[in-house]
Amino acid sequence: MTASFKTDGANTTVTFAYTAPTQKVVDTAEAAAHYLWEHGYGDHGDEENPILVSDLTNQQKLNLIDQHVRRVILDIAKDYHVNSEQEAARETAILYADDNLQV
């Protein structure tokens, strides 16, 4: 995998590229998209007009994977931020208790 940042003015593009033999890439992407589809990603249609994972184009399957990767990145970034803030609040509370809660 090769990851890169490209800044153009006020915007930055982050790119992740994966290179492997074609069939391996196709099989892996197919399996990943199928998994995500089974876990609620994508438009499944309705009872009268269901959409099956086999109906999806390769681009639609990649879109499911992209949506998940973006979600994972945002979730772990939020977790890091929340954990950092909690630790800072904990340290502040400990200092307060050490200074003010003596008997």
- pTM for this structure? 0.79
Residue 1 pLDDT greater than 80, yes or no: no
Q: What percent of the chain has pLDDT over 90?
A: 95
Question: What average pLDDT is seen over the chain?
Answer: 94
> Counting Cβ atoms within 10 Å, is residue 33 exposed (0-12), middle (13-18) or buried (19+)?
buried
Render pLDDT for 29-67 as a digit per residue (tens, 0 to 9). 999 999 999 999 999 999 999 999 999 999 999 999 999
CA distance 29 to 23: 10
Would you state the pLDDT for residue 2? 87
Q: How many helices (H) and strands (E) does the chain have?
A: 2, 2
CA distance 51 to 25: 24
